[in-house]
Structure 1
Amino acid sequence: MASFTELETWKQARKIRVYISGVVKSFPADEKFRLTDQVIRSSRSIGNNLAEGHGRFHYQDNLRFCIMARGSLTETLDHLIIALDEKIITEEELSHFQAEYDSCLRLINGYIQYLKSKKQENSK
């Protein structure tokens, strides 16, 4: 694959980042340097880690960054659960995100399995 932008995992991470950018616009001002900043950073980190891993030379390095992307994805979900608990977002907004989260998680896990199989093939 020539570019990380061709990865389905990265494309899904981008959708999540764009969704989060829209959702946080309705967050209260007193959350600007707390929850808003945290959820923006974690959502950006998903795609950032996928891109950085793709740019690495070895499969093991790429795997490590994919695992970090998966952690950032889960962190983003936790931030939105907090937003729901604080009545900043609605159940509908969380449900929409949950569907995108599930899709991204499946893609990342599939990509991790692919990289593991490529790593094994190359070690033979």
Structure 2
Amino acid sequence: MQNFKELHIWQESMELVKEIYIITSAYPEAEKFGLVQQMRRAAVSIPSNIAEGAGRNSLLEFKRFLTISISSSNELETQLGISEMMDFIEEDVSKELQHKINILRKRVYSF
């Protein structure tokens, strides 16, 4: 069992959540219960699963929760692509966030 707050992957994913909340607050009102909600849930799922896994008693269980967090990062990256395609965010913002997600995902994979 690890203190999840000390894990860099948890800290980085918490920063990502903050960025997603800030960016999606400017999305069209029509997306409030659609894409915005999905993106926020996917973003929140990443650090939540890291934290839950860190509290488990076995490495195997921890790895399972890390896999879930990776799946959520894939979902979020897809949603950023949709946001860019629909002109809800600029391409450079989308690419920067996708880059951060890719770095985080690599760190989670190597954990």
Q: Deviations over 1:67-111 (max 9, x none)?
A: 000000110011111111111011011111022112101110111
Question: Which structure carries more helix by proportion?
Answer: 1
Is the 1:12–1:103 Cα contact (8 Å) retained in structure 2? no
CA RMSD of aligned residues (A): 1.1
What residue identity is the alignment partner of 1:110? S
Uncovered stretches (5+) of structure 1, i.e. residues with no partner = 112-124
Number of residues paired by the alignment?
A: 111
2:14 matched to which residue of 1? Answer: 14
Is the 2:20–2:43 Cα contact (8 Å) retained in structure 1? yes
1:32 matched to which residue of 2? Answer: 32
Q: CA deviation at 1:2?
A: 4.7
Which stretch has the larger CA shift, 12-21 or 32-41?
12-21
How high is the TM-score relative to the length of structure 1? Answer: 0.86
* Partners of 1:89 and 1:2 in 2: CA distance: 37
Identical aligned residues as a percent: 27
What residue identity is the alignment partner of 1:98? Q
How high is the TM-score relative to the length of structure 2? Answer: 0.96
What residue identity is the alignment partner of 2:86? E
1:106 matched to which residue of 2? Answer: 106
Deviant stretches of 4+, over 6 Å: none
